Amino acid sequence: MSKGTLLYAQSGGVTAVINATASAVISTARAKGIKVLAARNGILGALREDLIDTSKETAAAIAALAHTPGGAFGSCRYKLKSLEADRGKYERLLEVLRAHDVCWFLYNGGNDSADTAWKVSQLAKAFDYDLTCIGVPKTIDNDLAVTDTCPGFGSAAKYTAVSVREAALDVAAMAETSTKVFVYEAMGRHAGWLAAAAGLAGQGADDAPHIILLPERAYDEAAFLAKVKQVVERVGYCVVVASEGIQTADGRFVADAGGGTDSFGHTQLGGVASQLAARVKDGLGYKVHWTLPDYLQRSARHLASKTDWEQAQAVGKAAVQFALKGQNAVMPVIVRTSDTPYRWKIEAAPLHKVANHEKKMPAGFIRRDGFGITDKARAYLAPLIKGEAPLPYGSDGLPKYVTLKNVAVKKKLPAFEA
Amino acid sequence: MSKGTLLYAQSGGVTAVINATASAVISTARAKGIKVLAARNGILGALREDLIDTSKETAAAIAALAHTPGGAFGSCRYKLKSLEADRGKYERLLEVLRAHDVCWFLYNGGNDSADTAWKVSQLAKAFDYDLTCIGVPKTIDNDLAVTDTCPGFGSAAKYTAVSVREAALDVAAMAETSTKVFVYEAMGRHAGWLAAAAGLAGQGADDAPHIILLPERAYDEAAFLAKVKQVVERVGYCVVVASEGIQTADGRFVADAGGGTDSFGHTQLGGVASQLAARVKDGLGYKVHWTLPDYLQRSARHLASKTDWEQAQAVGKAAVQFALKGQNAVMPVIVRTSDTPYRWKIEAAPLHKVANHEKKMPAGFIRRDGFGITDKARAYLAPLIKGEAPLPYGSDGLPKYVTLKNVAVKKKLPAFEA
């Protein structure tokens, strides 16, 4: 008699610790004697019946997964629409799950994925198929509802705070004869959590970052330039951290201002940092440098937060436990029970409460002048970057990241074009 | 009877380990009972008589300096011209040195600084002033002559290799439905050493980085785009690392192609990565992301190479020893005595052999197709990123970087406008 299998899939942008969640899911299930399949390239693999047999991986490889960034089985940007619009796909998904005797489906992603997992759970019920669906939280954007924080965010936040502090020391040393303004572009299209975390890089009023621009506040160029000038005149240099998603009061993304084509008709790719840098150069005449860390900020496992790493593993472990207990359509979320000392626990939250919500920075986290974070924000953010997640390095000076074998499971169904 | 003082100054772009050199200089001199002054903001402080009394710093602070990035006393971009053109400044410099009983002048920088230190030594001789001038090597560009490598380079190289490997894992996981081409911009205006170091991120033919663009080879857009297409079709994605200084065969910087102003008359700031990304998008239609780490790559003490860190301290210690032995107009350089196992020692090289030269990548380090590094380059680069330099973290999850008191020495001379 088959015990049933567990299917795990990763979704959306990967993080420095999503594989730590995968590692915890697999090792927890293994300890219970349960076979774990993984979908290749997220939900696409589930639709195409392109599944990976994780039992082919050694225990050492699964352990090493816990310190390897990226998405070990592949992830994807692919959103299933409503049950009505994409009914064929949802039914195909159930068909694949059934063909591989999947009793537990764990979908590791953001609010879209929570929504998908919820819909699959509803459909399974309608088809009288005994399936337990669990959403497992992940996103560097920290914008999931209900959970106190999202695995992946704390590590990206630590990367941001450390990088801003280090670059600020560089700028401070050279400011008299070189760069006076430095602009750091943080990910966050709708919510400014990562840019806000840069605030942890300094404590005093004159510490970097001197200006944080958040999408929760309208970008006002005149006020921004005036503030830059004031900081440079007082401190000698100015470090600016900007969310990629900042907009003017009339709703235009600052990042899009450049875009378009150059005089040769070539595409110009925009970006908030380069735009702000150009404005500072034009408006104030200061020498300016900027950085766009892009994927480096979400893949920097070498600078992962221990808190984040532990939480990434905890949600993976809890997801399996909830699944085995038949707690359908839930997500393991992080509940903060104390700021100082920082204490947290995992609870099960209904998926529909997480799905399709987007948690922005509360007004009380943003300084009155809009250019920084409050003590309340600091109290929230500070514990999330604490501790250094262990990471083995090889004799070559590089972290020892693992590449899995990712052996495909034999297909049982006809092909399907997803 | 005064024993004389030692003056130390930092010059040019700072690195993750230039303060490790400073720490070694100060602690070595202290152990010999010699007073160390530091010039604030490099040579500018020496000209302005804006000197710092390092004896006001605790032993703990000087020890912590060894793991703090940036330039603790300030650095500057300020090049003294020829003895004829800037005679007044050189004489002022000697006047300041004499006023503070400076017997040993240590100038920590690149080839410009080696040149300045050499000129000062010649002038002192002409004025019959007993001064020993030492150039101390530093630059992430790795372009100094004579020395096998430059303190600062190994750490930036490690940052580059680790960051490229991590970002590649991210891109690989998402490539099917998202970004297929990722471009990383490395510092290096004339020499491609840092971009080359990215080659250490992978071993096999299909490992990232798949393409490295070096300023030592002309940029050929058609060949580049053809190679990107070939890699994406074979591997599924393509990671490109480009030196900021790559040029077309007719000598135009690729980074300057954008520049100019946008349709609003606003300045557009260029950059190689954004230019290449736009070409890939226009020419091949792939989704593309790019990163410009900028100062992050030279200030990332959190990812410093132990080899580099040890060498940074060794040149500082040797500089003091050479100075005290009266070895005038020399630079402590790193001599490699073996690749495997990697062995090195410090020797004294005449400053004039280092001054004003620029060491590019040898032709034998660049692959025949121009898109990667050879095994010879690998053998040279590999030891430089080995080992992880120790770094204490605070309970706040941030590295414990020190800020010195930088107490000014009382001025003895009239003001001087440098």
Reported as a pLDDT band with limits 50, 70 and 90, residue A384 is very high
ipTM, 2 decimals?
Answer: 0.97
Q: Which CATH number goes with the domain that contains A90?
A: 3.40.50.450
- What would the mean pLDDT of B282-308 be, rounded to a whole number? 97
Tell me which chain A residues have a C-beta less than 8 angstroms from the C-beta of B293: 291, 293, 296
Residues B96-132 have pLDDT tens digits of 999 999 999 999 999 889 999 999 999 999 999 999 9
Query: Which residues of B belong to the annotated binding site for diphosphate?
Result: 13
CA dist B268 → A268, B127, B245, B256 (Å): 9, 50, 18, 10
Length of chain B: 418
* Parent domain of B220: 153-299
Q: Are residues B172 and B259 in the same domain?
A: yes
Residues A97-139 have pLDDT tens digits of 999 999 999 999 998 899 999 999 999 999 999 999 999 999 9
CB distance A17 to A151 below 8 Å: yes
Give the domain-ending residue among B318, B335, B355: B355
Crossing angle of the two packed helices B18-31 and B306-324, in degrees rounded to 10: 40
Residue partners of A205: CB distance under 8 A and separation at least 6:
none
Q: Are residues B21 and B108 in the same domain?
A: yes
B44 has a chain A CB within 8 A of its CB: yes
Beta strands in A161-237, from DSSP E residues, in sequence order: 181-186, 211-213
Contact A173 B71 (CB under 8 A): yes
Reported as a pLDDT band with limits 50, 70 and 90, residue B296 is very high
How far apart are the C-alpha atoms of A110 and B57, rounded to whole Å?
A: 50
- Reduced to 3 states (helix: H, G, I; strand: E, B; else coil), residue B296 is helix
pLDDT given for residue B185 in this prediction: 97
pLDDT given for residue A258 in this prediction: 60
Token output for A54: 């994780």
- What would the mean pLDDT of A64-77 be, rounded to a whole number? 97
* Averaged pLDDT of chain A: 95
Cβ-Cβ pairs closer than 8 A, A with B, add up to 245
Query: Is A139 annotated as belonging to a binding site?
Result: yes
Token output for B12: 């040019």
Token output for A254: 């600052």
Q: Are residues B198 and B229 in the same domain?
A: yes
How far apart are the C-alpha atoms of B78 and B72, rounded to whole Å?
A: 17
- What would the mean pLDDT of B333-350 be, rounded to a whole number? 97
**Chain A: residue nearest B267 by CA?**
A278
Residues A349-367 have pLDDT tens digits of 999 999 988 899 999 999 9
B102 found inside a domain: yes
Q: Are residues B97 and B16 in the same domain?
A: yes
Task: Determine if the peptide bond prior to A341 is cis (ω within 30°).
Answer: yes
* Averaged pLDDT of chain B: 95
Q: Looking at the predicted structure, is the pLDDT value of residue A388 above 90? A: yes
Which is nearest to A302 in space by CA: A390, A384, A198, A404? Answer: A390
A302 has a chain B CB within 8 A of its CB: yes
Q: Are residues B165 and B175 in the same domain?
A: yes
Q: Are residues A328 and A313 in the same domain?
A: yes
CB distance B152 to B119 below 8 Å: no
Tell me which chain B residues have a C-beta less than 8 angstroms from the C-beta of A162: 302, 398-399
Which is nearest to A76 in space by CA: A105, A34, A48? Answer: A48
Tell me which chain A residues have a C-beta less than 8 angstroms from the C-beta of B178: 76-77
Q: Looking at the predicted structure, is the pLDDT value of residue A62 above 90? A: yes
Q: Looking at the predicted structure, is the pLDDT value of residue B2 above 70? A: no
B105 found inside a domain: yes
Catalytic residue among B50, B112, B115, B141: B141
Q: Are residues A291 and A306 in the same domain?
A: no
Distance of residue A70 Cα from the nearest chain B Cα, in angstroms: 4
How far apart are the C-alpha atoms of B238 and A296, rounded to whole Å?
A: 16
Token output for B124: 């002192």
Asked about B141 being catalytic, the answer comes back as yes
Give the H or E element holding residue A324.
helix A306-324
- What would the mean pLDDT of A314-341 be, rounded to a whole number? 97
Residue partners of A164: CB distance under 8 A and separation at least 6:
A184, A198, A201, A208, A209, A239, A241
Contact B165 A398 (CB under 8 A): yes
pLDDT given for residue A263 in this prediction: 55
pLDDT given for residue B1 in this prediction: 38
Q: Are residues B132 and B209 in the same domain?
A: no
Residue partners of A274: CB distance under 8 A and separation at least 6:
A258, A290, A292, B268, B269, B271, B274
B85 found inside a domain: yes
Which residues, in sequence order, are bridge partners of residue A350?
A330
Crossing angle of the two packed helices A111-126 and A87-99, in degrees rounded to 10: 70
pLDDT given for residue A1 in this prediction: 38
Give the domain-ending residue among A331, A356, A381: A356
Q: Are residues B160 and B295 in the same domain?
A: yes
Q: Are residues B48 and B183 in the same domain?
A: no
- Reduced to 3 states (helix: H, G, I; strand: E, B; else coil), residue A71 is coil
Give the H or E element holding residue B241.
strand B238-243
pLDDT given for residue B169 in this prediction: 98
Reported as a pLDDT band with limits 50, 70 and 90, residue B83 is confident
Contact B266 A289 (CB under 8 A): no
Residues A5-59 have pLDDT tens digits of 999 999 999 999 999 999 999 999 999 999 999 999 999 999 999 999 999 999 9
- In the sheet that B35-39 helps form, which strands lie side by side, from edge to edge? B51-53, B35-39, B5-10, B102-109, B132-137, B330-338, B343-350
Place of tokens 């032993």: B59
Q: Are residues A65 and A119 in the same domain?
A: yes
Query: Is A140 annotated as belonging to a binding site?
Result: yes
Query: Is A316 annotated as belonging to a binding site?
Result: no
- Report how many domains make up chain B: 2
Tell me which chain A residues have a C-beta less than 8 angstroms from the C-beta of B271: 274
Please report the residues numbered 351 through 410 in chain A whose beta carbons come closer than 8 angstroms to any beta carbon of chain B: 382, 385-388, 393, 395-399, 401
A393 found inside a domain: no
Contact A173 B262 (CB under 8 A): no
List, as one string, the DSSP characters of A42-64. Answer: THHHHHHT-EEEGGGS-HHHHHH
**Chain B: residue nearest A391 by CA?**
B388
Reported as a pLDDT band with limits 50, 70 and 90, residue A256 is confident
- What is the Rg, in whole angstroms, of the alpha carbon atoms belonging to chain B? 23
Phi, psi (rounded to 5 degrees) for A179: -60, 130
Enumerate the active-site residues of A: 141
- What would the mean pLDDT of A366-379 be, rounded to a whole number? 97
Q: Are residues A345 and A237 in the same domain?
A: no
Tell me which chain B residues have a C-beta less than 8 angstroms from the C-beta of A167: 294-296, 299
Residues A401-417 have pLDDT tens digits of 999 999 999 999 999 98
A289 found inside a domain: yes
Contact B289 A293 (CB under 8 A): no
Tell me which chain A residues have a C-beta less than 8 angstroms from the C-beta of B385: 396-398
- What would the mean pLDDT of B190-205 be, rounded to a whole number? 95
Residues B356-403 have pLDDT tens digits of 888 999 999 999 999 999 999 999 999 999 999 999 999 999 999 999
Reported as a pLDDT band with limits 50, 70 and 90, residue A376 is very high
A418 found inside a domain: no
How far apart are the C-alpha atoms of A202 and A235, rounded to whole Å?
A: 14
How far apart are the C-alpha atoms of B289 and B183, rounded to whole Å?
A: 6
Q: Looking at the predicted structure, is the pLDDT value of residue A195 above 50? A: yes
Token output for B221: 């857009």
- Reduced to 3 states (helix: H, G, I; strand: E, B; else coil), residue B75 is coil
- Minimal Cβ distance to A169: which of B69, B162, B278: B69
A93 found inside a domain: yes
B261 found inside a domain: yes
Query: Is A187 annotated as belonging to a binding site?
Result: yes
Contact A14 B300 (CB under 8 A): no
Q: Which CATH number goes with the domain that contains B272?
A: 3.40.50.460
